[in-house]
Structure 1
């Protein structure tokens, strides 16, 4: 019975860490995508302002 409990604890610990790893990497990827989109938006705004686009 003790061995079964030890194996159960090892699996719970492994999957708990795997979940944290996936969430951390997902949030990091999401943050980089957001920074890229903000950068593209700033570039588009500066490009339009420098070429004389009429904002009306």
Structure 2
């Protein structure tokens, strides 16, 4: 029984640390994807304005 509790403690601490790192990295990826999409939309808008597109 003591071995099972020890293994449980080892796995719970390792997954707790792993979850924090995965969350941090996923937020970094999400930020860069959002930034790339924003720049892409801004480029499209500037391109349409510079070519004389009429917004109705």
TM-score (norm 1): 0.81
Structural RMSD (CA): 1.6
Which whole-Å CA distance do the structure 1 matches of 2:22 and 2:10 have between them? 19
Aligned to 2:29: 29
Aligned residue pair count: 56
Paired position in structure 2 for 1:46: 46
Give how far 1:10 is off. 2.7
Structure 1 unaligned regions, length at least 5:
none
Q: Which consecutive residues of structure 2, in runs of 5 or more, have no partner in the other structure?
A: none
Residues 1-45 of structure 1, C-alpha deviation per residue, up to 9 Å, x if partnerless? 766655433322111000001111111111110000000000000
TM-score relative to the length of structure 2? 0.81
